[in-house]
Amino acid sequence: MTDTGMTDTGITLTRRPDGDAARPAKAPPLRPHHRQLAVLGVLLLVAIPLPLVLPPAQGAVAVRILIFALMAVGWNVMSGFGGMFSFGHAAFFGLGAYTSAYLLVEHGVSPWIGMLAGMAVAAAVAVVIGYFAFRYKLQGAYFALATFAFAEMLRLIVTTSDFTNKAVGFTVPLIQGSSFWKIQFAADSPAYFWIALGLAGIAAAVSIVFLHSRTGRYVTAIRDDELAAASLGTPVLRYKLVTVALSAAITSVAGAFYTQYYLFVNPDLAFGSSVSIQAIATVVIGGIGTIWGPIVGAVILGALSDVTATLLRTPPDFLNFLQGRSGLDVAVYAVLLILIVRLLPKGIVGTIAARWRR
Amino acid sequence: MSNIGTKAQSPPAPAARRRPLLGGDGTGAVLKRAAVTGGLVAVAIAVALIKSGSGLVVWQSVVTGLLMGGLYGLIAMGLTLIFGVLDIVNFAHGALLAIAMFIAFGVVQGTGVHPYLTLLVAVPALFLLGAAVHRGLLSGTGGASLENQLLITLGLSLLLENGLLMFFGAEPKTVALPGDFQFSLFGAVVSGARLYAFLGAILIGAVLFWLLRRTRFGTAIRAVAANGQGAELVGVNVRRVHTLTFAIGTACAGAAAVLAAPLVTVTPTLGEQFNITAFVVVVLGGMGNVAGALVGGLLIGLVEQLTTIYMDGQSSLLGVFAVFVIVLFLRPQGLFGRRS
């Protein structure tokens, strides 16, 4: 996220030569940045003792919330900050999951390395997809459909390749005891939560820093008015590609951690369209383009899926026919999604923020 | 792989407003593109012949592909009509199709009537459902922006699919066609159900074409599609036209569902597959182009069948997506559409 390219364009938007030191009277851009990071730090500190307090079943829900949050933060970088509505984030989630699973199962590589490799692969694929999509000026529905098509193509390729074990997918080999290096602990160990918390915290911090960085501001400018940004000399394509790559990399981490936590991944779990939809729904409910939206959305959806799961296991009398049926959780969040879009189009966080400012 | 070359040679499209709903730009250009497309299809078939080495296999694929393609065309017609007039990318189209299939299944199970008679129930039901969806969810300020419409229809499709899953369970169901038969068409086996579905699709397509071209209401629809504000100024009730168009679009899905029901196993999530294919067809035919949807449907049916010949063991959808991505990049206005 450097701005190395700015010099060769010749034109710059703001008093660039004098740099940070001489940034006159315009302090505000820095402050929210630090305030948000501080809030994030407090949230993380509060969350650390959670697994010791919560019953084990709730601990699993908490980890799932964090995985949702990682995915959602990734999606939000591209579609919220960048305004490029992706319908295919399953591609990056799946690439992260499969890269790390493949390296671990076939070559015994640590999932941490696998995670980094997955980020690189996902970012590279995202840049290729993004390059073609921007090169051919796909917008709105067409862009969404193109990203969707790429995710589905990856799913079909993975489902039919021997290289990736076809429809079976990968099962993470169990080890004796627990190991941080291999990210494997006892099933109800709080370590999973702490690692997920750390990853989600880093992702959220990266998204905050990104939003306030030079690249992030260019990208939001491009989102708001691409023509104006381009006419001021912003290298639009480059900033868009950086955003897409960052978004894909964050989402791929969610995939890699998902595999480690559930010890298992297959094409539908990794590349299925429900993964993309999950990422979208989380952010839309929380608030597109806001920093806290993905996190709020993840908490709501995660808690909701737990409630519906309990409801299906032990339904009250009037819902007896639902016993053992699936689909309620998605149906509920679909209703929530429709209601939010109709009634609070800015999402929960966006609406609250708008009220606050007034 | 039927249309890769078409865009390379297409003339720079005029910068006019998109789609008059039927037909494209100048007849000459359309004919030229149709010729190129036809040539590519011929080449694709020739390659398939060389690859498989058996004329019968390819012939069977072509026949099956075209028959299936008619049905895809019908599904896509509803989708493209909705897009052309309302600018809504309807992600719930496939789920509505699944609803109609379950209606057909339920009616056949409950009363034992001939499956095709359920058209009389499914089509009006879907028409009303479509009208209700549009009035309730999509019209008004909340459904204004493209993203919002996309998200609402996406949420609706999730809701419908999972509602079906909750009430009917995931077990696949079948709708048997009594007195189904098979016959040989120059060696290719054709089942009666497929042929009926194809003919039904063509017939309904023709009715839709007639409705849009020859009736007063169709003129109103086309006027709204071309210029909503202008239509409103000359006294067209735009909101009503929108609702009715959405309803007609979903009714098309209902008709397609009944025709397709004997050919597939009915599951709550089957709409998803059809939805994807229908999107590809819509983009291929040009968003908002009803006649293009039918041609696109036939092409995609062929692509799907030929993919299985080209690539052993690969899903037939892979070829469909490859075509999709190429069309999206190189000719997003579709084979017969104008650039917007």
Is A186 in the B-facing interface, judged by CB distances under 8 Å? no
The pTM for the full model equals: 0.83
Of A136, A335, A341, the CB nearest to B148: A341
Is B50 in the A-facing interface, judged by CB distances under 8 Å? no
Q: Show residues of chain B in contact with A138, CB under 8 Å.
A: 328-329, 332
Q: Distance between CA A122 and CA A106 in Å, rounded?
A: 19
CA distance A294 to chain B (A): 16
Is A128 in the B-facing interface, judged by CB distances under 8 Å? no
Residue B316 has pLDDT above 50, yes or no: yes
The 10s digit of each residue's pLDDT in B204-247 is 889 988 998 889 998 998 888 888 888 888 888 888 899 999 99
CA distance A342 to chain B (A): 5
**In this predicted structure, which of A230-244, B86-100, B325-339 has the lowest mean pLDDT?**
B325-339
Q: Show residues of chain B in contact with A142, CB under 8 Å.
A: 283, 328, 332
- For residue A245, what pLDDT band results from cuts at 50, 70 and 90? very high
Q: Please list, residue by residue across A137-151, b when 16 or more beta carbons sit within 10 angstroms of its beta carbon and e when fewer do.
A: ebbebbbbbbbbbbb
The 10s digit of each residue's pLDDT in A255-304 is 999 998 888 888 888 888 888 888 999 999 998 888 899 999 999 998 88
Q: Does A141 sit within 8 Å of B150, measured CB to CB? A: yes
Structure confidence at residue A320 (pLDDT): 67
Is B132 in the A-facing interface, judged by CB distances under 8 Å? no
Strand locations in chain B (E): 182-185, 188-191
Eight-state DSSP code of residue B263: G
Q: Show residues of chain B in contact with A337, CB under 8 Å.
A: 151, 154-155, 158
Structure confidence at residue A319 (pLDDT): 66
Of B156, B165, B314, the CB nearest to A160: B314
Q: Distance between CA B153 and CA B95 in Å, rounded?
A: 10
What is the percentage of chain B residues whose pLDDT exceeds 70?
88
* Complex-level ipTM: 0.80
CA distance B267 to chain A (A): 13
Token pair belonging to A284: 């839309």
Tell me how crowded residue A124 is: count the other CB atoms within 10 A of its CB. Answer: 14
The 10s digit of each residue's pLDDT in B121-161 is 899 999 999 999 998 888 776 556 777 888 888 899 989 98
- What average pLDDT does the segment A153-157 reach? 88
Q: Show residues of chain B in contact with A288, CB under 8 Å.
A: 147
Q: Distance between CA B185 and CA B199 in Å, rounded?
A: 15
* Closest Cα in chain A to B324: A149
